[in-house]
A = this chain, B = another copy of it.
Amino acid sequence: MSILSIIKVGGKVVEETASLQKLLNDFVKLPGFKVLVHGGGRSATKISEKLGIETKMVNGRRITDEETLKVVTMVYAGLVNKNIVASLQARNCNAIGLSGADLDLIRAVKRPVKDIDYGFVGDVVSVQTNEVSKLIADGVVPVIAPITHDGSGLLLNTNADTMASSMAKALASSFSVNLVYCFEKPGVMMDQNDEKSVIKELSFDEFKKLQDNGTIVEGMIPKLDNGFAALDSGVKNVIITNTNGLAGGNFSGTILVK
C-alpha cells in the first residue's frame, strides 16, 4: 500500500506567516501522499473579539453558540484554510481545502448536553472516504478544516485531533497511514521542563501508568487516547512531535507502540 502521512498542526503554527511558511516548506517535502489537518483557534478568538462576541472556553474547549459557529466556519474553513491552500499551490502542491461537509467527508452529531452545554460542537460519527481517496491517489493534498456537518444542514465545530484520527482510521484500509500530531513540544516528555526527556517509544500500558502518576496531563491525554485508538484500528504509525519533527520526513518525537 502507498504511504499516506496525515499531519495535524495546531492553530498557532498555521496562523503566523513565518511559522506557516516554514511548516509548508517541510510539509511539501514529505515523501508519499499527504493530508494536512489544521486548527485556527487564535484567529477565531481575535475575530470574535472584534465582532464583540465573547469567547467562552471550558476545559480548553470553545463553547460554540450560534454567532461563534459563524466565526469558526468563516475563520477555519475560509480564512485559514484558503490561505494554506494558496500557499501550497504556490509550492506546486495541488491542495484542496475541505471541511467535513465537503464530499460528506466527516459527519458528526451535536454533542448531547450533560454537565456543560458546548453548543454547536460535533462528535464524529462517520467518515466517507470514497471521493477523497481518489483525490489522494491522484496526488491531490487535502487540507482539512475542523468543521463537520450533521447531515441535516447543520455545521458543527469539531476537535481537529479527533478529525485527524478519524480520517487516519478510515483511510487505513487504502493506505499505509502515518498519523502525526504536531504540537508545541518535541514529543511526550517525562519532565515538562526538559525537552531532552522526550519518550521515544510509548506503549498504551506505559501511557496509562504515566497518566495515573500525573506525568501525562491535560490536552495530551485525549491526543494519546485518539492516537492509541488509531493504532488499534490499523493506522501504521502514530507520532507526537512538533513541527521541527517533520523536517526530512523522519518524524522524530514520540512514537506510539502496541
Interface residues of A (CB under 8 A from B): 47, 50-52, 70, 73-79, 81-83, 85-87, 89-90, 94-99, 101-104, 131, 134-135, 138, 140, 147, 149, 151-155
User: Could you say which of A52, A82, A134, A151 has the most chain B C-beta atoms within 10 Å of its C-beta?
Assistant: A82
Q: Is the CB of A147 within 8 A of B50?
A: no
Q: When chains A and B are docked, how far (Å) is the Cα of A87 from the Cα of B155? A: 9
Q: When chains A and B are docked, how far (Å) is the Cα of A104 from the Cα of B77? A: 17
Q: When chains A and B are docked, how far (Å) is the Cα of A11 from the Cα of B128? A: 30
A65 to chain B, nearest CB (A): 15
Contacts of A52 in B (CB 8 A): 50
Which residue of chain B has the shortest Cβ distance to A135 in the bound complex? B131
A87 to chain B, nearest CB (A): 5
Residue in contact with A85 in the complex, picked from B47, B75, B78, B99, CB distance below 8 Å = B99
Which residue of chain B has the shortest Cβ distance to A154 in the bound complex? B86
Q: Is the CB of A101 within 8 A of B89?
A: yes
A148 to chain B, nearest CB (A): 9
Q: When chains A and B are docked, how far (Å) is the Cα of A145 from the Cα of B91? A: 22
A228 to chain B, nearest CB (A): 31
Contacts of A95 in B (CB 8 A): 101-102
A255 to chain B, nearest CB (A): 33
Q: When chains A and B are docked, how far (Å) is the Cα of A153 from the Cα of B50? A: 26
- Given A51-B50, A78-B76, A97-B99, A153 and B104 contact (CB-CB distance below 8 Å): no
Contacts of A76 in B (CB 8 A): 78
- Given A52-B50, A94-B131, A149-B89, A99 and B70 contact (CB-CB distance below 8 Å): no
Contacts of A154 in B (CB 8 A): 86
Residue in contact with A96 in the complex, picked from B47, B89, B90, B103, CB distance below 8 Å = B103
Contacts of A140 in B (CB 8 A): 103, 131
Which residue of chain B has the shortest Cβ distance to A79 in the bound complex? B74
Q: Is the CB of A87 within 8 A of B153?
A: yes
Residue in contact with A151 in the complex, picked from B82, B89, B155, CB distance below 8 Å = B89
Q: Is the CB of B131 within 8 A of A82?
A: no
Contacts of A97 in B (CB 8 A): 77, 99, 101-102
- Given A85-B102, A90-B153, A99-B97, A70 and B77 contact (CB-CB distance below 8 Å): no
